[in-house]
Amino acid sequence: MSAALKLMAVLGFAFALCAGRGAAQDAKPEITDDKPKPTVEFAKTWEAAVAEAKLLNVPLVVHSHGFY
Amino acid sequence: MHSAVMQNKKYLEFAKQNTVEVLALQRLAEGVQKKDPRAVAYKVKGANGEEQLLMLNWPNLTLEEIEDLSRSKAGSFNKTGKIPYTSVVDPWTEKEIKGYNGGSAKGIQEDVETALVALRKDHGKGVARKDLARVNEATAKAQAFATAGDFAKAIEALNKLDTQTKGAAELLTTKISDARAAVISAAEAALAAIESATDPVKAKKDLLALSDRLRGTGLETKAKELLLKL
């Protein structure tokens, strides 16, 4: 692959990444008056989760879900 | 799976004592855009009275936090392409101990208990969550005092914590020491700003105001010496 093609591929990937991020940031959820049900307390970030789990010396439980 | 585990009353109690819970929710923005009824938010007042939007089904997280979590290492454990997927992860190695599609609250609890035995064998007993909460609350309070320039009150809050956590695990006392170092560093910066000020009248006024707020930082003598120079 030529240097120009490589550069175009990298730029294209970066653009797609930015566009995806932008779309996510633009998404505004509908607001409800419903109150949440009691749910487990989630860590705010992965780093915070790891730090807290080390302090408590307990495992992390990662719940993978999605909108598919 | 969501309510069967994450909203299960017994699991909630179990998780408070034995786990750190992490969400890896993919494609939430798509759910929001498609107006999926699960992707709705509710309003709460933040710590400073500001309005905040949290996601109804993951009620302590914002949309942005969920998006960031899904892009973090948390989002890398499910390699099956199927959901729901649950991973029990060792925090010291950040490697999956056990992972499965679906899974019940009871099954997760059993695997967590097995993991706890191994973690305690390798790393000893961790701190209690209530002690950690107390430290987090006090360090946040100290940070707020330091931000407001009241370093004495910040140090006082941390000193109280020293007594309450006497004999606690090193990781916890390190957290308190780090918070104290951050307060002292901010106080040093405030003193340095006065020292380098060009208006001596204003500098003296600022220093007099600051002096009362330095108690406990170890910078009291330096402030007195500076006052004599001005």
> What's the ipTM?
0.76
Q: For the whole model, what pTM was predicted?
A: 0.74
Phi, psi of A62 (to 5 degrees): -100, 120
Query: Which residue is it, tokens 């000193």?
Result: B159
Q: CB A60 to CB B129 under 8 A?
A: no
Confidence (pLDDT) at A34: 95
User: Confidence class of residue A33 from pLDDT cuts 50, 70 and 90?
Assistant: very high
Residue A17, Cβ density class (10 Å: 0-12 exposed, 13-18 middle, ≥19 buried) = exposed
Q: Is the pLDDT of residue A10 over 60?
A: no
Residue among B24, B30, B129 whose CB faces A62 most closely: B24
> Measured between alpha carbons, how far is A66 from B58 in angstroms, rounded to an integer?
12
- Nearest chain A alpha carbon to B62: A44
**Residue of B8, B16, B21, B135 to mutate, testing the A interface (most A Cβ within 10 Å of its Cβ):** B21
Residue among B83, B112, B124 whose CB faces A64 most closely: B83
- Nearest chain B alpha carbon to A25: B64
Confidence (pLDDT) at B133: 87
> Measured between alpha carbons, how far is B120 from B93 in angstroms, rounded to an integer?
14
Q: Which fold has domain B129-229?
A: Methane Monooxygenase Hydroxylase; Chain G, domain 1 (1.20.58)
User: Confidence class of residue A2 from pLDDT cuts 50, 70 and 90?
Assistant: low
Confidence (pLDDT) at A8: 57
> Measured between alpha carbons, how far is B118 from A56 in angstroms, rounded to an integer?
14
> Percent of chain A beyond pLDDT 70?
62
The lowest-confidence range among A5-9, A25-29, B220-224 is A5-9
What secondary structure does DSSP assign to B106-132, as a single string? HHHHHHHHHHHHHHHHHH-----HHHH
* Residue ranges of chain B with per-residue pLDDT less than 70: 1-2, 47, 167-168
Q: Is the pLDDT of residue A18 over 60?
A: no
> At A13, which amino acid appears?
F
Chain A residues lying within 8 Å of B30, measured CB to CB = 67
Confidence (pLDDT) at B108: 95
B153 vs chain A: nearest CA distance in angstroms? Answer: 26
- Nearest chain A alpha carbon to B30: A67
Q: Which residues contact B206 (CB under 8 A, 6 or more apart)?
A: B194, B197
A16 vs chain B: nearest CA distance in angstroms? Answer: 15
Residue among A38, A43, A66 whose CB faces B20 most closely: A43
Range(s) of chain B covered by CATH 1.20.58.1210: 129-229
* Cβ–Cβ < 8 Å for B150, B113: no
* β-strand partners of B24: A64
Q: Is the pLDDT of residue A20 over 50?
A: no
